Structure 1
Amino acid sequence: MKFKLKIIARYTAIMFNSANLRYRSMVQPKVQLTVVGITVTNAPSEEPYMVEVDGYTATRNVLYGATIEKFKDYVALQSYFNSADVIWLLTGKNMSRWENKKLIGNSGGFAYMAGVCTKWKVGMTEERYGSYYGVFVLAHELAHSLGCAHDGDKAGSWPAGHIGSADCSYDDGYMMSYRYKNPNMYKFSLCCQREVLNIYNRPQYECLIMKNSVKTSIFSSKLPGEVSSRTTYCKQVYSTFTYVEADKKYDMSRCIVKCYISRNGDNMLIGAVDGVHCATKKVCVLGNCTSKPEIDKAE
């Protein structure tokens, strides 16, 4: 069991390393995510908050809206969560919702707007183990928890004094949109940074400037591509196909992975995770083939 815990802790730390590379784009205020604890569940009885979908056990569908609400209530009853700024539910299950009587399974994550430090300080993202594919959604949803709206959205009713991001175009493709435009897709817009600063100095968000944890943070110096293969990445991302392999001869200088999804040569191109070897003494970092950055441990 201890070995399993160490593997999961290391995996989570590496995910957050990759997410933190995206948060380096925040200048004012600076943001660094720190994992201070991990709770691992081993049986359904240890996850009373999971709301599964009747008849969809084989595909592991859970209703994320009801799940996150129950998870919020569960967290409130566990005293060991009190000192954390935000508590995150990482799951390998298929986050889903009902829409016009149809079950939709493309919801990769959810977080309450500006929920950090409050009773809504929970979020949830899906991760296909071994792929690190969930890093983008993890960073995106954590930004919601820090107060960021989607780029292009008007101010909301919560929190009071919310500014919104109407003056930042969704089509610019920053982290708080789903346009995926390089290089903006690895950065946060000025609107998002402004919103984090907007809540940063408020009394109800003082947890952001306090160091509450008395324990050593969970740390790794690795990036996802250093511990996971391209084949694993392809197989996890395109798991619905019966045949999946990575093209190991494909030129990685553009940090694009070529995944075969049939024996006939049908393929998909997808951005490489951070840390994939792309040239001599170089790795992919935020879509570029460059030197590996220093991975800083939180002070």
Structure 2
Amino acid sequence: MAVFKLYKMVTLTAVLQHFSHTLAVENKKIHQHMSPDELRKVFHVDRHELVPEYEVVMVHAATPYMSYQEDNIGPPSPDAAKDGKAAVADIWSVLSELSRKKDDIEKTRRGPDNVEDIEEVHDRVMKFSAFGKDLELKLKKTSGLFGKGIRMWETLSNSSNVHGIEYRELPQEKEEDIGELYQDEKNQAALLVHSDKDGRLLVEGTIGHDLVVKPVPSSVRHLVTPPDDELFLDANDEDIQNDVTMDTGKKIKDAEKRRRKRRRRRDAGEEYHHHIIYKRAGVSAEDYYSDYAFMEPDSLKKRHRTRRGISKREAPYVIFPEILVIVDYDGYRLHGGDNVQIKRYFVSFWNGVDLRYKLLKGPKIRISIAGIIISRGRDATPYLERNRVGRDAIDSAAALTDMGKYLFRERRLPVYDIAVAVTKLDMCRRQFANDACNRGTAGFAYVGGACVVNKRLEKVNSVAIIEDTGGFSGIIVAAHEVGHLLGAVHDGSPPPSYLGGPGAEKCRWEDGFIMSDLRHTEKGFKWSSCSIASFHHFLNGDTATCLFNSPHEDESLPRVLPGKLLSLDAQCRKDRGTSACFKDDRVCSQLFCFDAGSGYCVAYRPAAEGSPCGDGQYCISGRCVAEHENIIPDYSQNAQSYLRRDDSENLATQPRPIYAYPNSTTQRYEVLLLLNRLLAFQNSRRRRE
């Protein structure tokens, strides 16, 4: 019997060793079994020979409750165990529950007596090994990147429509179909977690400066999944070959105990799934040398402002730049023409950009996606198409100018603060001396362009174009270009004269922060002190206030509409002592007031709710809608009255109410506007919590 057992153990060891070797070889070749669509979805390439270096790894995902079981920190209460089983039935309810406050989680999961044993609570913990390194990600759920849902449009060339382009809004997917966003600031990981139709956990996103995570396609999953998934262990388990030995049998029993433990953990909600991790291509340092432009001076007004450095208002604690993402036709094809996949990709993409801005503290900057526009033909982005250079490049400066002019005229877009066009095409900068278009530009934007519209030139300056070839190669580029729009110049450079401020001459380009040379070092994820000072200067200036409002969402009709009390010109006079530049549907998203000092039309905020935006129309929640007299009362004639306390006993003898404040339309407007702002602040605060 002993000899038979020994034979079985030796045979099992040999089989496992052979299987592990075969599996390791097969893992390096699974891309050869992928279809062209799968290659584009995973690696963003069209041919097998273009696939980058990759590894197939087992990702182990757990929640804090499962970590309790592994660490054995005190027994859970019966109620906690019951809650855990119920939550496991639905992975999304687990994620939702774990996003509660730390105290609530710990009291539910471990009881109040063990809270002091916890250093930090995370929504997700993921472990895996790749390229010779063991990684443990402690992930926190990202909030604020999108609200109740991201609206998407597809655009087509259609000569019968305005500007020859047709916009079609796409139906919104359920939130669970897209997934949930997580970040690990320490490891610079930005991930999207979702499930397939079988409930299998899928993870995609970026880790550090060069790693990309993607799920293994279902069609090749059988090539990497052995019949006995106990072969694959998490980072804390011993190798399977150490479990099967020719010892006395004690290790065999220990191995069986560990296997039972792993089965229990899977039953409790821990998940082990194969994923592909590959190294993405970097962006060359030369791509950052000519990636910005200064805004055109207005010849009608003196451009230099002697008091530009003095802030006239203070930025709020948190600002939310709302990004309108425009995907060109080549980007549409790059992602296989799959709208859900495109949404997942760009949600993950901007989650990575947001992670870079999480490092800023005063004020905090939280990226928000205003909408995604997908181009179903090259003519759907005419500002890119008419500036093509050869077959695969665009003149970046000319395209940016045309993009700003197109967006000035386009009225069918959602509310946004910054518009970013994403293209797969190579970007170049034309040198007029020899008419050559020198490549080496990965993005292009105006310095300090956020919120600015040049009415004389009929051009929006809050625009950027970035290059992204898939695999999230454009994340740092996007963070860099948005940084330009928010007033940052390259490290080592002075500020433009129209912007003023500290500039960045005290910081060296060679140090390799985000606004300088691209370095694969820790500094490459951070902002220099000069960039931080430039952000502070710009955001506390008088042109950045369109960034101050919370992200727009569809809300119910407010009961008080202060826009009925003051005209658009009157609102601008209160802000800047000037008049409104536009009096159409644009004011609902941004009220542009003429700035006498710069000659620009500057957006300080949306027009007040109820402001007129056309014939018989008014602004509500950023949209211009038809007015209904039964819904919108005229508060100018029916303001609420308050009686003085000493006259309260003589109500019957009072011929008319006595107001506690003068019956002034302007003052009533201020009170109502303040109430609306307080309500908006409370709503945004609840969303952040």
Q: Using CA pairs below 8 Å that are at least 6 residues apart, which structure has the higher relative contact order?
A: 1
Matched pairs, number = 214
Q: State the 1:146 CA deviation.
A: 0.4
Secondary structure at the counterpart of residue 465 of structure 2:
strand
Are 1:184 and 2:523 counterparts? Answer: yes
Correspondent of 1:202 among 521, 541, 562: 541
Task: Identify the residue that residue 123 of structure 1 maps to in structure 2.
Answer: 464
Are 1:106 and 2:445 counterparts? Answer: no
Rounded to whole Å, the distance in 1 between the matches of 2:553 and 2:398 is 32
Task: Identify the residue that residue 621 of structure 2 maps to in structure 1.
Answer: none
Rounded to whole Å, the distance in 2 between the matches of 1:174 and 1:196 is 15
Letter in 1 for 2:516: S
Correspondent of 1:155 among 488, 495, 509: 495
Which structure features the higher share of helix residues?
Answer: 2
Alpha-carbon displacement from aligned partner over 1:237-264 (angstroms, at most 9, x marks no partner): xxxxxxxxxxxxxxxxxxxxxxxxxxxx
Are 1:66 and 2:398 counterparts? Answer: yes
Rounded to whole Å, the distance in 2 between the matches of 1:106 and 1:42 is 27
| Unpaired stretches in structure 1, ≥5 consecutive residues | 217-296
RMSD (Å) for aligned C-alpha atoms: 2.2
Q: Is 2:445–2:484's contact at 8 Å kept on the other side of the alignment?
A: yes
Task: Identify the residue that residue 510 of structure 2 maps to in structure 1.
Answer: 171
Correspondent of 2:479 among 113, 119, 139: 139
Correspondent of 2:552 among 213, 218, 222: 213
Q: State the 1:79 CA deviation.
A: 2.4
Rounded to whole Å, the distance in 1 between the matches of 2:478 and 2:346 is 11
Give runs of aligned pairs for residues 10-89 of structure 1, distance below 5 A: 10-50=344-384, 51-53=386-388, 56-57=390-391, 60-81=392-413, 83-89=415-421
Secondary structure at the counterpart of residue 464 of structure 2:
strand
| Unpaired stretches in structure 2, ≥5 consecutive residues | 1-153, 155-169, 171-336, 454-460, 556-686
Rounded to whole Å, the distance in 2 between the matches of 1:86 and 1:191 is 22
Q: Is 1:81–1:87's contact at 8 Å kept on the other side of the alignment?
A: no
TM-score by length of 1: 0.66
Letter in 2 for 1:134: G
Rounded to whole Å, the distance in 2 between the matches of 1:186 and 1:199 is 21
Rounded to whole Å, the distance in 1 between the matches of 2:529 and 2:504 is 9
Which structure features the higher share of strand residues?
Answer: 2
TM-score by length of 2: 0.30
Are 1:9 and 2:343 counterparts? Answer: yes
Rounded to whole Å, the distance in 1 between the matches of 2:377 and 2:405 is 19
Q: Percent identity?
A: 25
Which has the greater radius of gyration? Answer: 2
Task: Identify the residue that residue 268 of structure 1 maps to in structure 2.
Answer: none
Q: Is 1:172–1:181's contact at 8 Å kept on the other side of the alignment?
A: no
Q: State the 1:33 CA deviation.
A: 0.9
Q: Is 1:125–1:137's contact at 8 Å kept on the other side of the alignment?
A: yes
Alpha-carbon displacement from aligned partner over 1:208-240 (angstroms, at most 9, x marks no partner): 111252259xxxxxxxxxxxxxxxxxxxxxxxx
Q: Is 1:170–1:179's contact at 8 Å kept on the other side of the alignment?
A: no
Q: Is 1:113–1:158's contact at 8 Å kept on the other side of the alignment?
A: no
Q: Is 1:89–1:124's contact at 8 Å kept on the other side of the alignment?
A: yes
Rounded to whole Å, the distance in 2 between the matches of 1:104 and 1:84 is 32
Secondary structure at the counterpart of residue 440 of structure 2:
coil
Q: State the 1:101 CA deviation.
A: 3.8
Are 1:95 and 2:435 counterparts? Answer: no
Q: State the 1:37 CA deviation.
A: 0.3
